[in-house]
Amino acid sequence: MRIARITLVAALAAMLGGCAPMHRAGCADGEQALIHDTLYFGTGKPRGGTVTPAEWSEFLESTVTPRFPQGLTVSPASGQWRGADGAIVQEASQVLQLVHPDDAGSEKAVHALVEAYKAQFQQEAVLRVKARTCVSF
């Protein structure tokens, strides 16, 4: 009987382990565990000039919105970063915030829009800050 009880406890622990990601998120009743991505897009072009408001709007419309039609937030910003050559670069930026499920499709979509921006505007990098969060509507 004691061995059966130990086996039952071990089986329950293994089954409940699948629930751990949601429990660790610490979300309250009525909240969803999601990913909050903040992406920083520099607007300075390496060959001179900047990404214009019209170019940014087109990028949002054609590249970001189709991948994240459920919603997004964009804010203009001013920042600086150290380039691969060691020089400090100061430039205007666009900050894009996305809240999405923690799944392969969303991850692929984030990577695709980052790579599209880098290619389209010859950017060295796009900063991504990814955090698990609890969301309610």
Kindly report, residue by residue over 106-132, the tens digit of the pLDDT. Answer: 999 999 999 999 999 999 899 999 999
What's this model's pTM, rounded to 2 decimal places? Answer: 0.78
Reply yes or no on whether the pLDDT at 6 is more than 60: no
> What are 107's two structure tokens?
């991850």
Amino acid at 82: R
Reply yes or no on whether the pLDDT at 8 is more than 80: no
Average pLDDT estimate for 63-69: 97
Domains of the chain, residue spans: 28-135
The pLDDT of residue 88: 92
Q: Of residues 50 and 46, which shows the higher confidence score?
A: 50
Is CATH 3.40.630.30 what the domain over 28-135 is classified as, yes or no?
A: no
Distance CA 53, CA 120 (A): 15
The pLDDT of residue 118: 97
> What are 69's two structure tokens?
């039609």
The pLDDT of residue 133: 96
Q: Of residues 23 and 75, which shows the higher confidence score?
A: 75
The pLDDT of residue 25: 59
What are the beta bridge partners of residue 96?
A: 39, 74
pLDDT category, 83, cuts 50, 70, 90? confident
Q: Where are the alpha helices (H) located in the chain, listed in sequence order?
A: 2-17, 20-25, 53-59, 104-120
